[in-house]
Structure 1
């Protein structure tokens, strides 16, 4: 009711006052009216304009925001308007969430859950909130943002005045919902809600990182920054963010990296001057040691005004379109600046996941980014002659948009490997030489340098770069970055202290370091890595070149699968493919792949079976053309004779659990069956290792030659050749296989070390 003083009061049982307005003005003829807008107003019909209100409900919003309402504050009336969620749809008591404008020099809409920020819109940039992607004209509503020195507020208007629209703040994960009224169903229909996606959650990625919904992981450190706590980061806890690789020098040597299509960082610690140009804004930032970034405060037209950030930059994301530019301050040594005006542009088409990365300060350009590799010259040729850069290579290969790795410059890799010295050489394979390097922060790396006479070409190189960058598993080697500069093409991996598995199992001296428990650990771990590739990763991947030299060992002898140059990605429900370009390694290929070019997860299973036999026996499978020492045939014959124990390497026989070894041999033979459909999957293999259930009886292996090696005595671990008996069927089959393989060898075969 309206009392004589002109105030509106709410009574309980017509006696006690539960709530009342507190207008200081006396009303001669107070009138309470509910307007079509939904605003409940109290005005004086006897004095003043009908549009002058003594009190209005729009000044005291609850959980609902209607067109022409204001969210913000008014200096004249000392009003601060914000929304508060209801505890539930049936309980109007205040909930946990509030929604309002955060007071700062560069205001933005913020949602709080209690005292913690939950979501923010990004500041108004003259066109939109920077946290809202550009999506064309909105057919339902339009935003307005007013900051005139007296009032600072956000409001919205509807395009169709006859349409009912409301925004409600909920006590749920769908925090902010804009709905329209549907006359046919007589209900509210959801049109828009926030948070829209994972990246909308405040502070998800911590400081100096950006969130991208179309990449995994969602959070990626900015260039020149690395995870502050790598263990947490790798466990998908990104909240602690990233830290600078190199501190700012606080002088004119500092520069800026330009990031585009960004949601601007949180504006709590900002300074704004609407009259400065972007150039003056840059100068102002450089003169203040605490300034970490700058941009235009208004991007409408040609852009104007200046906003500076101080302290850490938090809660950024990058959009495919929309957002705006921001210039982030960096040490000159991070970007190779030669002049005050140099800066870099990092777009959204190529996004860098930030691992430890050193950028040389001796380059001839400042354009080192994931979007454009610098045009630097080779260490032995300092002229300004331009070389083909990464962008051109990637675009030529059609993989530019897939690159998710840092790009190392040639000078950095030459420096950290002592100019690719022979003392730093770890080995050499079909790809080319591999060198050990040490970055300035002490991190050890392995650099694979594509040889000019390498049997692996640019296609395999780009395949490995774009593929393994998407994979994360403890039994897969981690690719840290790459270098594509002129004729130089290099891959940068984590350093594996014990090199490759073949250096142990085929070496009589080092083989003694692998007792059975270590060998069994390697067998099971490689299986887990393959299972991840075949089934558990977001891609279905066939490795196609699994072998002992492509299994690397870290300092604790944990194995990691490497070398993805020949790997293939399968999509959807695809389970197999074929190729006319058969490439791989003799002795490890499944018969259907070597003969017909058919590959699948089961061809990897075949290679895995060979690897298991090699780990157990310490002997290489010499392949079809050295059939007198063919390991498959020997293992099969010993299994049929009940003498599989003779296959065990003498270096591990004293430490082995016999039943465990025999079970591994049996599983290996199941993997080696001739027909792919008979072989188990990697998930079934792991179950076989961990259970004691009876195993299926293996069928004859593929590539089984009728001429197999025999031992002269059970006490000898050496595989000796012997004469053999043959059937005409096997001889004919063998002849056809050998003939076809030799033809393929001459035409298309790529023999890889």
Structure 2
């Protein structure tokens, strides 16, 4: 690391060396030589000590008498942050910025984000008046425009990542300018986001234009100060989504912001300023909040164990997060179908559009207000409406708030300002109410103004509904005791009949008659859980059929009438996975066989499948390398269990990205065992005339000759590893230069010693230097070799991934060119496609 003050040290050292050589040339006697050493030794020591002391003293500061050039840096006193010049990706622009020293790609602030330098002549200086200036030769590229002058100004990089200009007193509180007042895309601990009402300064986050261009993008996060201040995310000049106002505990639209062991937060609103900030509970932890170029926001935490940033939380992506998605006087419920509903006492403004799932026009009152003959209807667990047209008072009670709203004919709703404790303060709305969302819990109470006649009708309807419910409950309870025994007997009989004929004996030839101990679900319960198989509950569709979400705990796979698969595949999946217990295999909870309906019930995976992340340009940024290597190792452990540690050896035969599901913690789980085959005893391979699987993942010997073994799954695993590393599909991928598929392209880069070019760009530049990433590419190529005997088994793969042992050289992969294969959406079975990218296929080969 170079510093400007080193020039002083170098100059004086050279001067001293010159005098020493001159003296030596004219010293003819040995005695004179020793005398010379005695004389100059203290001078050498003094010179280098002076250099060291000056180096240490100016490590984190800069004065008007010195400057920073391209290639030189400042480092905070604690060593956490560094200030200097940098470039991004393949772009030649040079920027002055601040980054974490533990992760140089984590840039937290950029000075000249809109005016890059295009050479290495940049110079950073602080003037005698205290202005920070960035020069390109002699022209000013960027300046801090410090508001007032100071005596003996000093520029200092603090260990919080904040860059200060202060006077010579050394007091950090008495500063002239700070970078924390001019955020870029990152909110740091101790940084305020909000507005100073006295100076008019507004601090807000603005996304980068792209991952390689820090110029201001189209997304921003700020506190809107119209009415009661609220946190909003903007796309250019329009609100994209809204976290809402602060209610004393959290933002009303983000009840997930709760006390945690990593950071604490506060919201301040007074006559001088409004701001939100967070501070770290443990100062040894590194955490930052970032708004990405795509508009997605996330909090990242540094993990020393993996030397990588881990996503702690991200902004929600359900449709109810879209601002005013349901229009005026309507509420959005992501778990309901339809998601939008008018408030009680309101009807849709455009019934035709409403029935066409266009809710933008919202709702209108069924009965107009009468001002002096109005009342309020209480709604619970809500995200409060947009507060840009609101008024608030901190000292009023809720009862006083109601009275004040009734007196003003323009007041449409009221609520508590602060819900901490027993609640306090008054918040009133004037005009329309929009952007409301209902939560299952942790929402807020809102009292909406209605005409008394409308309130009477709602009260009567609620009373009638309550009476009907009580009557139904009473009638049901009188019948329960009489039919309880009959119901139990009927259930047991139904369970046996529903699973009749599906035994281990039907599946293989081992001669057993072992009934599977698998719960049987009733068709009515499943229909209720999926809202009668509503399209809003549909998660996706595959070769077996559509998959639906049942509440928040189960996923139901329903055999399609148009599916090429049937009872054999259904039984195959049940017997393959019913008794398997491994953390990296999806758990089968039960099934349903009723009439022509055949369904499988699995545990619900909130993050859906792996392909929705790695092949999506936006969501792939949320899948950092730490998560990707954990997913790779998890899949490997799951396959090892299937191939070696389970009671029977199981060949999956359809391993692909869409069949890897991810739970809340991004742990991988192998799913879809409908095409799996079970080997008993010492059997290691088999052959079939009915080839099943997915193009791009099939091994050459299986696709060409119907031969399958554990090495067939190894080939699929290798393809999957290369897809996870590169973020590109093997099937359908074609490089512009060499016209190779992903396997061929990876092989060419490997033999040309350019394997780092395969790495997904969303992982950043840091991963190109990671031995772990290159090791995964190496293992992936070993797994996709042409000959099955050249591929390692899963026990060897797990060992290769978890150790630093030497690996054998890979040979040319199978399906090197893949030019003759059909496109991804082709299939001989005429199945309805479950996605636009891939589908399982079945080929019948002649003898």
- The TM-score with structure 1 as length reference comes to 0.48
Q: TM-score, normalised by structure 2?
A: 0.43
| Structure (1/2) with the larger helix percentage | 2
